[in-house]
């Protein structure tokens, strides 16, 4: 009798697991298709406006007008206290709720920012877009609060995958970025399915992934390894500086220029003046062409510094976009310069520094490694592993997202449960 009850118990558990798998499999497919569709449209729009802006760089003189439109849009929809990606993270922590109006607002505002020459990325906007749509789908299907957290992560993975074309990294990123030291493995199956489906959909619609070839990779020996360690330490410091400049300028703006219209117009004018003085459009938009040139070994010595300044002026004034591709830009240009100075492959250093700076600003070493493998292949694996691990350790508790929770210490086996420092 006892054996029969045990068999019955295990059979019931198998049925429950099958039900859970089918339930999440179907829903993650829906999220992958829906979020993938919107994200693909988003990526296509960004591509079109970037091509127009590249052909007509003088359009940057309309940046103040674009800023006024963005502020007005957020005011009309009564969404003045925009926390951006931090709101998505706090929703997963069950501290706040994502309003659906975030999706169209971030979509339109990011397009305006890129069209008129603001210096911003796209993945941060994609995370907000995916999280907002995912949360709304969870409400539509009447998921409870705990399951909706998984749904938000599912949407984030789908959007990141469709926009950036790295489904493996996207599957993990949304689980890793929320709480450093602890991952929400309950979201693994939904995130994997949604990311793969969204990526496939985007590729089918002509939004392919960016992949890069490293020109020269030295043998894995002591001298190159030491140079990569030094580079990683510099990248950790650079990631901290990037975060401090971003949030520091934001604090100054909010304290000294309280009117959002004046703030965004003032910053727009500074961006225009700097662009005219430097006589280049390298710092407009995400700056992917500059990243490509850096990986090919060509770089302007001050490029990484100017990108930090332009990105801070853009995002902290109220323009929309993301910080992830700018972090790639900063890492790639600095790494290329480092390689030229210290006599190690500039192409390798650009690639390695991209991932090291990204790891430093997001505190996501596993995602950083996966992105490296998907973008650059596996030939330089030892150098990527060294750089990412060193940058993770040396960047401390700073990060782009102050609602990111540092659950376990980076330095010892200790539970600390604190927020990332701005």
Tens of pLDDT, residue by residue over 190-218, are 999 999 999 999 999 988 888 899 999 99
3-state secondary structure (DSSP) of residue 384: helix
Q: How confident is the model at residue 98 (pLDDT cuts 50, 70, 90)?
A: confident
User: Of the given ranges (148-162, 203-217, 234-248, 300-314), which has the lowest mean pLDDT?
Assistant: 203-217
Give the structural domain span for 128: 2-204
Tens of pLDDT, residue by residue over 393-411, are 999 999 999 888 888 889 8
Rounded-to-10 torsion of CA 286, 334, 242, 400: 60
Distance between CA atoms of residues 99 and 101, nearest Å:
5
Tens of pLDDT, residue by residue over 150-180, are 999 999 999 999 999 999 999 999 999 988 8
Establish if 217 belongs to a structural domain: no
Q: How confident is the model at residue 66 (pLDDT cuts 50, 70, 90)?
A: very high
Per-residue model confidence (pLDDT) at position 21: 94
Domain check: are 238 and 154 in the same one? Answer: no
Establish if 212 belongs to a structural domain: no
For residues 205 and 123, the model is more confident at 205
Distance between CA atoms of residues 88 and 153, nearest Å:
9
**pTM for the whole thing?**
0.94
For residues 182 and 33, the model is more confident at 33
Distance between CA atoms of residues 171 and 173, nearest Å:
6
Go through 154-191 and write b for each residue having 16 or more CB atoms within 10 A of its CB, e for each that does not. Answer: bbbbbbbbbbbbbbbbbbbbbbbbbbbbebbebbbbbb
CATH code, 77: 1.10.3080.10
Residue pair 90/120 in contact (Cβ under 8 Å)? The answer is no
Establish if 214 belongs to a structural domain: no
Establish if 246 belongs to a structural domain: yes
Establish if 210 belongs to a structural domain: no
Average pLDDT of span 9-23: 89
**Bridge partners for 419 per DSSP:** 405
DSSP state of 209: P
Residue 87 in this model has a pLDDT that exceeds 90: no
Domain check: are 400 and 332 in the same one? Answer: yes
Domain check: are 189 and 317 in the same one? Answer: no
Tens of pLDDT, residue by residue over 258-291, are 999 999 999 999 999 999 999 999 999 999 999 9
Per-residue model confidence (pLDDT) at position 95: 62
Domain check: are 35 and 168 in the same one? Answer: yes
User: Of the given ranges (14-23, 36-45, 257-266, 376-385), which has the lowest mean pLDDT?
Assistant: 14-23
Domain check: are 146 and 17 in the same one? Answer: yes
Domain check: are 185 and 290 in the same one? Answer: no
Residue 257 in this model has a pLDDT that exceeds 90: yes
Domain check: are 231 and 175 in the same one? Answer: no
Domain check: are 191 and 117 in the same one? Answer: yes
Average pLDDT of span 219-230: 96
Residue 247 in this model has a pLDDT that exceeds 80: yes
Average pLDDT, the chain: 92
Q: How confident is the model at residue 94 (pLDDT cuts 50, 70, 90)?
A: low
Q: Which residues contact 378 (CB under 8 A, 6 or more apart)?
A: none
Distance between CA atoms of residues 257 and 129, nearest Å:
28
- CA-nearest of 273, 283, 278, 277 to 309 is 283
Establish if 103 belongs to a structural domain: yes
Per-residue model confidence (pLDDT) at position 4: 76
Per-residue model confidence (pLDDT) at position 413: 84
Establish if 216 belongs to a structural domain: no
The percent of residues in the chain predicted with pLDDT above 70, rounded, is 98
Domain check: are 175 and 285 in the same one? Answer: no
Of 204, 230, 252, which closes a domain? 204
Residue pair 109/318 in contact (Cβ under 8 Å)? The answer is no
Q: How confident is the model at residue 417 (pLDDT cuts 50, 70, 90)?
A: confident
For residues 416 and 32, the model is more confident at 32
Q: Which residues contact 257 (CB under 8 A, 6 or more apart)?
A: 263, 266
Distance between CA atoms of residues 302 and 280, nearest Å:
13
Domain check: are 280 and 138 in the same one? Answer: no
User: Of the given ranges (208-217, 247-256, 319-328), which has the lowest mean pLDDT?
Assistant: 208-217
Residue 1 in this model has a pLDDT that exceeds 60: no
Domain check: are 303 and 408 in the same one? Answer: yes
- Helix 346-362 and helix 324-342, axial crossing angle in degrees, nearest 10: 140
Question: Given the structure tokens 């949604």, which residue do they identify?
Answer: 194
Q: Which residues contact 116 (CB under 8 A, 6 or more apart)?
A: 53, 59, 60, 62, 63, 65, 66
Residue pair 266/422 in contact (Cβ under 8 Å)? The answer is no
Average pLDDT of span 53-77: 95
Tens of pLDDT, residue by residue over 334-353, are 999 999 999 999 999 999 99
Per-residue model confidence (pLDDT) at position 250: 92
What is the number of structural domains in the chain?
Answer: 2
DSSP string, 226-278: HHHHHHHHHHHHHHHHHHHHHHHHHHHHHHH---HHHHHHHHHHHHHHHHHHH
Residue 68 in this model has a pLDDT that exceeds 60: yes
Domain check: are 174 and 237 in the same one? Answer: no
Establish if 397 belongs to a structural domain: yes
Distance between CA atoms of residues 170 and 158, nearest Å:
7
Residue 422 in this model has a pLDDT that exceeds 70: no
Residue 84 in this model has a pLDDT that exceeds 90: no
């Amino acid at each position: 009798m006892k054996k029969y009850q045990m068999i019955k118990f295990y059979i019931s558990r198998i049925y429950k697991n099958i039900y859970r798998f089918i339930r999440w499999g179907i829903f993650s497919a829906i999220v992958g298709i829906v979020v993938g569709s919107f994200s693909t449209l988003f990526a296509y729009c960004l591509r079109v406006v970037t091509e127009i802006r590249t052909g007509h760089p003088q359009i940057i003189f309309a940046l103040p007008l674009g800023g006024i439109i963005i502020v007005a849009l957020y005011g009309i929809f009564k969404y003045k206290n925009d926390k951006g990606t931090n709101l998505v993270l706090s929703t997963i922590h069950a501290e706040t709720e994502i309003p659906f109006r975030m999706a169209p607002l971030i979509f339109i505002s990011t397009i305006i920012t890129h069209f008129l020459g603001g210096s911003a990325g796209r993945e941060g906007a994609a995370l907000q877009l995916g999280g907002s749509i995912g949360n709304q789908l969870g409400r539509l299907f009447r998921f409870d609060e705990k399951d909706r957290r998984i749904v938000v992560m599912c949407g984030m993975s789908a959007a990141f995958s469709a926009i950036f074309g790295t489904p493996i990294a996207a599957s993990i990123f949304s689980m890793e970025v929320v709480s450093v030291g602890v991952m929400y493995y309950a979201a693994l199956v939904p995130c994997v399915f949604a990311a793969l489906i969204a990526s496939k959909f985007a590729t089918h619609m002509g939004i392919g992934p960016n992949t890069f070839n490293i020109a020269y990779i030295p043998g894995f020996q002591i001298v190159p390894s030491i140079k990569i360690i030094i580079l990683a330490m510099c990248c950790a410091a650079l990631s901290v500086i990037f975060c401090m400049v971003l949030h520091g300028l934001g604090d100054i703006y909010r304290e000294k220029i309280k009117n959002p219209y004046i703030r965004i117009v003032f910053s727009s004018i500074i961006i225009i003046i700097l662009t005219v003085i430097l006589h280049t459009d390298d710092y407009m938009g995400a700056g992917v062409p500059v990243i490509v040139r850096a990986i090919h070994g060509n770089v302007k010595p001050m490029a990484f510094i100017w990108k930090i300044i332009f990105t801070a002026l853009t995002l902290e004034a109220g323009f929309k976009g993301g910080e992830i591709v700018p972090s790639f830009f900063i890492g790639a240009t600095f790494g290329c310069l480092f390689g030229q100075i210290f006599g190690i492959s500039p192409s390798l250093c650009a690639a390695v520094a991209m991932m090291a700076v990204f790891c430093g600003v997001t505190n996501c070493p596993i995602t950083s490694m996966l992105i490296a493998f998907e973008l650059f292949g596996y030939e330089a694996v030892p150098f990527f592993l060294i750089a990412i691990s060193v940058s993770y350790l040396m960047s401390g508790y700073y990060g782009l997202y102050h609602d990111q929770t540092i659950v376990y210490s980076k330095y010892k086996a200790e539970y600390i449960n604190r927020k990332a420092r701005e």
